[in-house]
Structure 1
Amino acid sequence: MQETTILWADDEIDLLKPHILFLNEKGYNLKTVTNGNDALDLFKKEKFDLVFLDENMPGLTGLETLAKIKSINPDVPIVLITKNEEEYLMEDAIGFKIDDYLIKPVNPKQILLTIKKLIDNKRLVSEKTSMAYQQDFRTLGMTLNENLSFSEWVDVYKKLVYWELSLEKLEDAGMHEILTMQKSEANVQFCKFIEKNYLSWIKDPESGPVMSNQLFKKKVFPLLETNVPVFFVLIDNLRYDQWKMINSILTEYYHVEAEDSYYSILPTATQYARNAIFSGLMPLEMEKRFPDMWQNDEDEGGKNLHEEKFLADHIQRGLRKECKYSYHKVLTFEQGKDVTENINNMMSNDLNVIVYNFVDMLSHARTEMAMIRELANDEAAYRSLTLSWFEHSPLLDALKKLSQKKIKLIITTDHGTISVKHPSKVIGDRNTNTNLRYKQGKNLNFIAKDVFHIKNPHDAMLPKLHISSSFIFAKEDSYFVYPNNYNQFVNYFNSTFQHGGISLEEVIVPFVTYTPR
């Protein structure tokens, strides 16, 4: 471990020799001066990891020295040591971005504790986190070989995300690699679980998890009984880990009443999953009930143009009382500002649905724009970009405004997304859809181990466009490519974020209920 060097400025430094000897024995290198000017001269010449400043020195005071040191290097932690407990002094020190303060007389153990907190904290946290994950790695590994239920798979996924977010703060490439391998193994087992159980859940919905088409009936409509306005915010394409990032901001304004989840239907694509949410129907049922509005993959035109009409029909079928509601879809910054300005008018509604499309646009932009690829070049960067958007979005402004009112807030999404790594060749006719994670078409030719093949779409309550039509869903982190222009296709789409197939990231969807603080 590299030696920690500390600068200590105090006009009574001779009286502190026992403290300095104690810290030397603990492996710290101390440089001492008796005034602020000498502290500044030494700070300019040498590199220090930490600075202790006496508040009451002749010449430059501790606070004046603090300000000058911060102007040279604002990142070095500074501790003010003072006999004065006046509140104004502490406020001034905090204003200068002091990192800690100690009241004289100080004992050596106090000093040591402060050093560990400011300097060794990162190393100690890193060591403890790595050790804790190593212990949990074995437990998770054994869990993955068990016959897990749909709720236990949610717990596994949340645990993996917890470790992903914890380990990303550490500079330990080995731990990251191990976690990546464990996530990959979890997805292998999860895809087998979905293959084994999905069609039986469709046949008997009560035997499986809450799915997209059951979401309003099971989780939203019951909240309307509370006679408090419900704001249902669907951020398209928002994974559980991305929700964790924005939740860190939301909890400044809201209490998490319930952190829940549900399973997206297949395909985990907006056209299917989101329409199922708002209609309360599976795609085959939508095709039959709304022949003029449901769009199949082969049809021209937008696939999500009728969500509000689907919602209206769903409310009429699903609720036994009148429900005053609003529906807003936000595709631009200006539309987001309009929603924020309209908050007061929405308070008279029982239900307000707001669909935000930013994260979906981000994932597509990452595929299509080199600059966005650079900004979101891995999972951590992708999360960071989502957080940055949210911090500066009209959505956060709207949610801050709502936090001053008596409401219930729901944050959810329609499906997640996965970074694809493994190309899988597929052959289909010219009418086969273009999605990289699922295909439907006639006489599809594919690599069987890479897909979940549903031979009869009606078994999965999906439309059947032709007598010989079937669906295939990419498993784990595979993506479909055509043999023509194979290398060009692979170079363009490898490591992009895609959805439509089967993975923990795409299928397990956050559904979180909040109340204002």
Structure 2
Amino acid sequence: MQKYKILWADDEIDLLKPHTLFLEKKGYEMVTVNSGADAIEQVENQPFDLIFLDENMPGMTGLETLDYIKSSKPNIPVVMITKSEEEMIMEQAIGAKISDYLIKPLNPNQILLSIKKILDNRRLVTEKTNMSYQQDFRNLSMAYSDDIDHREWIEIYRKLTFWELEIDNTEDRSMSEVLDNQKDEANSNFARFITDNYDLWLNEVGVDKPLLSHELMTKRIFPELKTDQPLFFILIDNLRFDQWKIIEPIIADHYTVEEESSMYSILPTTTAFSRNAIFSGMLPAEMAKYHSDIWVGDDQEEGKNNHEYEFLKRQLKKNRLDIKSSYHKIIRTEQGKQLLDNVSNLMKNDLNVVVYNFVDMLSHARTDMEMIRELAPDEAAYRSITKSWFLHSPLLDLFKWLSRESVKVIVATDHGTIRVKRPAKIIGDRNTNTNLRYKQGKNLNFDNNRVFAVRRPEDLHLPRLNVSTTYAFATQDYFFAYPNNYNYYVNYYRDTFQHGGVSLEEMIVPLITLTPKNA
């Protein structure tokens, strides 16, 4: 165990001798002084890992000493000790960023607990987390090897995400590789589950199935519409469940999570298909058939998501909802600020839809820009950038404003993304689409073991561009690569975040209902 040095300043330090002896027996090096001035002198002359500071010392008080220490050595944790239970003193100490607050009379275990909480926290958390994950490892492996349903897959994905975030907070992240292997095994089983069940969800009446993209508005958004207050539906493009869990504590300062559920993105798990399905209330083949004037297929160069509000208005009309609505797509920070400046005008509407594109843009930027890859070399750093963006975004300001106005919010996404690591060779003609996680075209040639192949697109309600159209969806963490210029292609796209295929990360996405805390 590391040898820690602790400074204890108290004008009655001689009376605390039993406590200091107790800590020395526990392996801590103790330095004691009986005034604030002596404490400052010690801090200036030698390093300390922790300081115990009595609040009520004659001469320089504990709070005055604390201010000096924090201004000169802000990173040394300080525990304030006092006989007083006055709220004002507590607030001053907390405001000065103390690490703990103890009230006399003290007992040895109370002191030891405070020390361990501050100095040994990371080590103890690491040991407990690793042990708990190892205990849960077998349960998870057994769960997805059974014949389980869509709800149980959601729970498995949530548990895997929970352990991923817990292991992120450990010192050495020694269990990360084990977890990565377990996630890959889970995704292999999940791909088989989707292959066996996806067409049933779309075609069989009365079959047990999850909420899918094209059902979101009618089953979850429209029922929340009320005549006396507006509803905000915020869609954060490409938001995975782990990214939601990272920003949830920030939102929790202003909103209570009324319901944290999940839905399944339709295939392909891309913005063009899944988001348009959300706003149209239709699957892709039906969109192409009934909205041919605004549907943009893979064979067209036009932007695939330029008509989302028109899709929404037509879905509202189809459901006989004569309501006031608005739609805002935020791509740049300035657009987010403009929305915030005018949000009061939206309070007259029944439904306000806001689409935020940052997370999707981040995944594309990480692929194309070496600097972003350096900033986000792994999943943990990728989540960190998402959190940093959210903390400083107009979107957080929008949540704060809506909370103050007691406005209910539903947060969702269209699809997630997966970090791809392994190439899967595919051969197609020049008209084959460019997405790395799914391909559609004629005469496709690929390894069936790594692909969910759909040779009859109409079975999955997918547009058929020609007689021999086939869809191929990459599974696990594979990405498609053409044989020509293969090595360059693989090296460029390996370890990037992609979407379009079949994985837990892409298909199982968050759906959150938020109630303002002041409601």
Counterpart residue number, 1:401: 401
Matches within 5 A, 1:119-268: 119-204=119-204, 206-207=206-207, 208-224=209-225, 227-268=228-269
1:21-74 deviations in Å (ceiling 9; x for gaps): 111222222122233343333333433221112234455432333223223321
Gaps of 5+ in 2: none
Tell me the SS of whatever aligns to 1:6: strand
Cα offset for 1:225? 5.0
Counterpart residue number, 1:303: 304
User: Equivalents in 1 of 2:92, 2:402: separation in Å?
Assistant: 34
Cα offset for 1:104? 3.3
Tell me the SS of whatever aligns to 1:294: coil
1:463-505 deviations in Å (ceiling 9; x for gaps): 1111111000000100011111111111211111000000000
User: Equivalents in 2 of 1:352, 1:56: separation in Å?
Assistant: 56
Counterpart residue number, 2:3: 3
One-letter code of the match for 2:309? E
User: Equivalents in 2 of 1:25, 1:483: separation in Å?
Assistant: 67
| Segment of structure 1 superposing worse, 127-136 or 302-311 | 127-136
Whether the aligned pair in 2 keeps the contact of 1:228 and 1:406 (CA below 8 Å) is no
Counterpart residue number, 1:272: 273
Matches within 5 A, 1:64-463: 64-204=64-204, 206-207=206-207, 208-224=209-225, 227-318=228-319, 320-463=320-463
Whether the aligned pair in 2 keeps the contact of 1:230 and 1:352 (CA below 8 Å) is yes
Cα offset for 1:83? 3.5
TM-score (normalised: structure 2)? 0.96
Cα offset for 1:76? 1.6
Counterpart residue number, 1:469: 469
One-letter code of the match for 1:301? E
Cα offset for 1:460? 0.9
One-letter code of the match for 2:376? A
Cα offset for 1:217? 1.4
| Segment of structure 1 superposing worse, 160-169 or 94-103 | 94-103
Alignment size in residue pairs? 516
| Segment of structure 1 superposing worse, 153-162 or 168-177 | 168-177
User: Equivalents in 1 of 2:211, 2:70: separation in Å?
Assistant: 54
Report the CA distance shift for 1:406/1:13 in structure 2 as closer, same or farther (over 3 A).
Answer: closer
Whether the aligned pair in 1 keeps the contact of 2:122 and 2:171 (CA below 8 Å) is no
User: Equivalents in 2 of 1:221, 1:369: separation in Å?
Assistant: 40
One-letter code of the match for 1:118? I
TM-score (normalised: structure 1)? 0.96
Cα offset for 1:15? 2.0
Report the CA distance shift for 1:287/1:248 in structure 2 as closer, same or farther (over 3 A).
Answer: same
Cα offset for 1:84? 4.1
Whether the aligned pair in 2 keeps the contact of 1:438 and 1:501 (CA below 8 Å) is yes
User: Equivalents in 2 of 1:103, 1:245: separation in Å?
Assistant: 34
User: Equivalents in 1 of 2:442, 2:491: separation in Å?
Assistant: 27
User: Equivalents in 2 of 1:111, 1:192: separation in Å?
Assistant: 54
Gaps of 5+ in 1: none
One-letter code of the match for 1:157? Y
One-letter code of the match for 1:217? T
1:255-310 deviations in Å (ceiling 9; x for gaps): 11111111111000000101111001111111111222111111121111111111
User: Equivalents in 1 of 2:206, 2:153: separation in Å?
Assistant: 17
User: Equivalents in 1 of 2:98, 2:321: separation in Å?
Assistant: 58
Whether the aligned pair in 2 keeps the contact of 1:367 and 1:493 (CA below 8 Å) is yes
User: Equivalents in 1 of 2:339, 2:485: separation in Å?
Assistant: 44
User: Equivalents in 2 of 1:54, 1:376: separation in Å?
Assistant: 44
User: Equivalents in 2 of 1:29, 1:162: separation in Å?
Assistant: 38
Cα offset for 1:450? 1.1
One-letter code of the match for 1:275? N
One-letter code of the match for 1:223? E
Tell me the SS of whatever aligns to 1:323: coil
User: Equivalents in 1 of 2:294, 2:205: separation in Å?
Assistant: 25
Whether the aligned pair in 1 keeps the contact of 2:123 and 2:171 (CA below 8 Å) is no
Tell me the SS of whatever aligns to 1:414: coil
User: Equivalents in 2 of 1:289, 1:482: separation in Å?
Assistant: 35
User: Equivalents in 2 of 1:91, 1:337: separation in Å?
Assistant: 35
Tell me the SS of whatever aligns to 2:513: strand
User: Equivalents in 1 of 2:283, 2:102: separation in Å?
Assistant: 64
